[in-house]
Copies of this chain bind each other. A is one copy, B any other.
């Protein structure tokens, strides 16, 4: 692999299930059944900040956020979406898109650092991954 190839940060790999690759980003599902919580990782090496994306990639990312938002809303019973690029712990640019419910474990606070992740059971994970892979 060339030194400039895209590699997913090992922490993101450890915390997530792979949904697949969109035109710009790798789409991941946080392995935490408490929240429908996805992560978009633009597949360019070395990115840290949102504003480092050029205009074409910004447009592509926004389109991917929009498409993912619709898929998450289609799960039903979603009160709010949270979209965020933080990266204080994992500097590789990644964008959280989280479907929030007023009944969820963290509401109305943000999800980061709240309690303990609850891994999906395999059937649950498979159903959600299939849903997220549907265009």
Which A residues form the contact surface with B (CB < 8 A)? Answer: 48-51, 55, 58-59, 62, 65-66, 69-70, 80-89, 91, 100, 107-110, 112-113
Asked whether B82 lies within 8 Å of A88 as measured between CB atoms, the reply is yes
| Copies of this protein in the complex | 2
Asked whether A84 lies within 8 Å of B87 as measured between CB atoms, the reply is no
Chain B residues closer than 8 Å to A62, beta-carbon distance: 55, 58-59, 62
Which one of B58, B88, B110 lies within 8 Å of A108 (CB-CB)? B88
Query: Once the chains are docked, how many angstroms separate the CA of A65 from the CA of B84?
Result: 13
Chain B residues closer than 8 Å to A82, beta-carbon distance: 84-88
Asked whether B51 lies within 8 Å of A70 as measured between CB atoms, the reply is yes
Task: For the complex formed, measure the closest distance between the CB of A123 and the CB atoms of chain B, giving whole angstroms.
Answer: 29
Asked whether B80 lies within 8 Å of A51 as measured between CB atoms, the reply is no
Asked whether B51 lies within 8 Å of A81 as measured between CB atoms, the reply is yes
Task: For the complex formed, measure the closest distance between the CB of A21 and the CB atoms of chain B, giving whole angstroms.
Answer: 20
Chain B residues closer than 8 Å to A100, beta-carbon distance: 88
Asked whether B80 lies within 8 Å of A88 as measured between CB atoms, the reply is yes
* A66-B51 contact given A108-B89, A112-B109, A112-B110, CB 8 Å threshold: yes
Query: Once the chains are docked, how many angstroms separate the CA of A99 from the CA of B65?
Result: 23
Closest 3 CB pairs of A and B: A84-B84, A88-B108, A51-B69
